[in-house]
């Protein structure tokens, strides 16, 4: 009996597919029903409405560093989510092509060792993303608890403009429920969209690991397979970059302001408050998003490998905005720039406090 073909899409995207399907934003079927479309538009409208309320509040308090720092981190997070989900749906055809390439014959494992490499990388990224999802939902829960412990008066969990006031019931309960449910859905959508892009990057790394494993054997036929497979990986990564470079660049560039604003809030709030704990956890969650021996072979094998090396010698990099490589150096640069802006904001805030006193 033939062994069933491994579905690499399910191996890497199973959890993201389940969550994004519940949120109504997963890859729709060709004959999408009207009810499913309506559900998707309602879920997306809630996210954009949440963003609109934050923009209104930000426009109202523009110029007040204290208020801006309180509202900016949530504004950026929500804007980034809306942009990512929009890009995901606009580039849906590219996503389907990437999914088809993942399940093509050239990427299928040919033995148990190669299958183990794919499964190991899939398990690692699933664990990392599960930790991200748990941390993001914990952060949302702490934000929801903040007004119950830190504020003497009744306030909504998040500082933003709302069409209802917290002073009276049931407006307070309705506003509280709207913010809590919407931000929880935002965290799940964030997890889903990031899972798709990051899992595809890790899938490309797993394929390169398989190529490396193949090259350890002196076999001309296998070497030619490696060349073909490497070209397929290059094509896959290029399409992946073309599909998701915009929202990655948006996130990388915005992370500089987000980190310094969040660090400023951590500096000014009481360390014993729920808000302090939630801000520290939020900062850690957002930062977590940013991180052959051949010469003894025979002559024919060497010549074929030299041709392969001419192409392999060009680095295979995944770039945000087609310009910024995703690397440790980029991550360190973002942290350095964030600290520089944070130092300026801290100095400005201290100067304002002196003037107020």
The answer to whether residues 196 and 16 touch, using CB atoms and an 8 Å cutoff, is yes
User: Which of 152, 99, 169, 172 has the alpha carbon at shortest distance from 273?
Assistant: 152
- Give the whole-angstrom CA distance, residue 76 versus residue 51: 9
Q: Could you tell me the residue range of the domain that residue 55 belongs to?
A: 9-26+35-356
> Does 348 score more than 90 pLDDT?
no
Contacts of 70 (CB under 8 A, 6+ apart): 159, 265
Tokens 């399409």, residue? 239
- Give the whole-angstrom CA distance, residue 320 versus residue 65: 30
Cα angle value 322/28/232 (rounded, 5°): 40
Sign of CA dihedral 347, 349, 352, 353: negative
How many CB atoms are located within 10 Å of the residue 15 CB? 16
Contacts of 189 (CB under 8 A, 6+ apart): 20, 23, 25, 47, 81, 85
- Residue at 332 is within a domain: yes
pLDDT tens-digit profile of 283-339? Answer: 776 666 655 443 344 454 445 445 444 544 555 565 666 666 666 677 677 777 776
pLDDT tens-digit profile of 84-126? Answer: 899 898 889 999 999 999 999 889 998 888 899 899 989 988 8
- Give the whole-angstrom CA distance, residue 47 versus residue 193: 14
Q: What is the pLDDT of residue 23?
A: 92
Task: Report percent pLDDT > 90 for the chain.
Answer: 17
- Residue at 3 is within a domain: no
Cα angle value 98/99/105 (rounded, 5°): 95
> Does 157 score more than 80 pLDDT?
yes
Local structure of residue 319 (DSSP, 8 states): E
> Does 165 score more than 70 pLDDT?
yes
Structure-token pair, residue 225: 């397979």
**In degrees to the nearest 10, what's the CA dihedral of 237, 126, 324, 337?**
180
The answer to whether residues 6 and 203 touch, using CB atoms and an 8 Å cutoff, is no
Between these two residues, 225 and 304, which has the higher pLDDT value?
225
- Residue at 4 is within a domain: no
Structurally, how many domains does the chain consist of? 1
Between these two residues, 20 and 209, which has the higher pLDDT value?
20
Structure-token pair, residue 316: 């295979």
Structure-token pair, residue 101: 């390439």
- Residue at 1 is within a domain: no
- Give the whole-angstrom CA distance, residue 120 versus residue 123: 5
Per DSSP (E only), the strands in the chain are 319-320, 324-325
Measured CA distances, 108 to 115, 117, 140 (Å) = 8, 12, 39
């Amino acid at each position: 009996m033939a062994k069933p073909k491994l579905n690499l899409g399910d191996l890497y995207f199973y959890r993201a597919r389940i969550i994004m399907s519940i949120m109504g934003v997963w890859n729709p079927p060709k004959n999408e029903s009207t009810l499913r479309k309506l559900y998707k538009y309602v879920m997306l409208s809630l996210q954009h409405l949440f963003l609109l309320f934050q923009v209104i509040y930000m426009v109202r308090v523009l110029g007040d560093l204290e208020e801006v720092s309180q509202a900016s981190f949530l504004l950026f997070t929500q804007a980034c989510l809306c942009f990512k989900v929009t890009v995901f749906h606009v580039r849906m055809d590219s996503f389907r092509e990437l999914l088809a390439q993942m399940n093509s014959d050239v990427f299928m494992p040919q033995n148990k060792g190669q299958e183990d490499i794919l499964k190991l990388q899939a398990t690692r990224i699933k664990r990392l993303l599960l930790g991200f999802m748990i941390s993001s939902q914990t952060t949302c829960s702490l934000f929801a608890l903040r007004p119950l412990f830190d504020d003497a008066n009744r306030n909504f969990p998040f500082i933003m403009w709302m069409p209802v006031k917290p002073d009276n019931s049931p407006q307070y309960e309705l506003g509280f429920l709207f913010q809590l449910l919407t931000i929880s859905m935002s965290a799940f959508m964030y997890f889903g969209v990031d899972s798709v892009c990051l899992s595809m990057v890790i899938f490309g790394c797993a394929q390169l690991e398989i190529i490396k494993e193949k090259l350890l054997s002196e076999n001309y036929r296998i070497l030619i397979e490696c060349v073909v497979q490497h070209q397929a990986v290059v094509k896959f990564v290029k399409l992946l970059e073309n599909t998701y470079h915009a929202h990655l660049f948006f996130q990388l560039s915005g992370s500089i302001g987000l980190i310094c604003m969040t660090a400023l809030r951590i500096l000014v709030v009481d360390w014993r408050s729920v808000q302090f704990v939630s801000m520290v956890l939020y900062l850690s969650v957002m930062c977590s998003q940013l991180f052959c021996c051949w010469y003894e072979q025979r002559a024919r094998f060497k010549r074929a490998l030299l041709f392969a090396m001419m192409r392999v010698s060009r680095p295979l990099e995944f770039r945000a905005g087609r310009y910024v490589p995703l690397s440790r150096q980029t991550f360190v640069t973002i942290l350095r720039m964030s600290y520089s802006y944070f130092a300026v904001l801290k100095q400005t805030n201290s100067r304002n406090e002196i003037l107020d006193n």
